[in-house]
Amino acid sequence: MANFQDGASFRINLTNVDQVQEELQSYQAYKVAMAIKIYWPPILVPCGLVGNVLSFCVMLRPSNRRMSTCIYMWAISINDTMMLLLAFHEWLITAVNTHVWNEWECRIGTYFIAISLQQATFQVKYKVSSICLFYLF
C-alpha cells in the first residue's frame, strides 16, 4: 500500500493485471497519452525522414562540405534518422502489436539507441567547445 502526503492511499494487486489495465483506462490522461502514442509517430516519422534526407542532401553540396557547421548538421541528420527509424520500429511493436521483441531485436535496438544518444551528446559537446575556442582565441 502506498501512502501519500495528503493521506490518500491506494493498493495495486499485481496478480490481477487486467483489473489494473481497466482502472488505468478509466483515467482521461491515460486515454490522451495512448491516443498520442498511437497516432503521433506515423505523422512525425515520415516528416522527420523527409526533413533529414533534404538536410543531408543540402549539406553534401560541394560548397557546403568545407564548413564545419554543415558537417555537424550532416552528422546530426544521420543520427536523427537512425533514432526515427528505431522509434518507428518500437511503435510498430507496441502500438500496432505486430509481435513481441525477441532477444536479438532488444539487443540491437538497445545498442543503436545507446550509440545514437552518445553520438548526439558528443556532437553537442564538440560544437559547443569549438565555438568557445573560436571566440576565446
pTM: 0.63
pLDDT at 53: 92
- pLDDT of residue 84 exceeding 80: yes
16: left (phi over 0), alpha (psi -120 to 50) or beta: beta
| Higher per-residue pLDDT: 10 or 52 | 52
Asked if residues 109 and 90 have their Cβ atoms less than 8 Å apart, the reply is yes
pLDDT at 3: 47
pLDDT tens for residues 99-115? Answer: 677 788 888 888 888 88
pLDDT tens for residues 19-72? Answer: 666 777 777 777 788 788 888 888 889 999 999 999 888 888 888 888 877 888
> What distance in Å separates the CA atoms of residue 53 and residue 123, rounded to the nearest whole number?
19
> What distance in Å separates the CA atoms of residue 135 and residue 133, rounded to the nearest whole number?
5
Domain ranges of the chain: 15-136
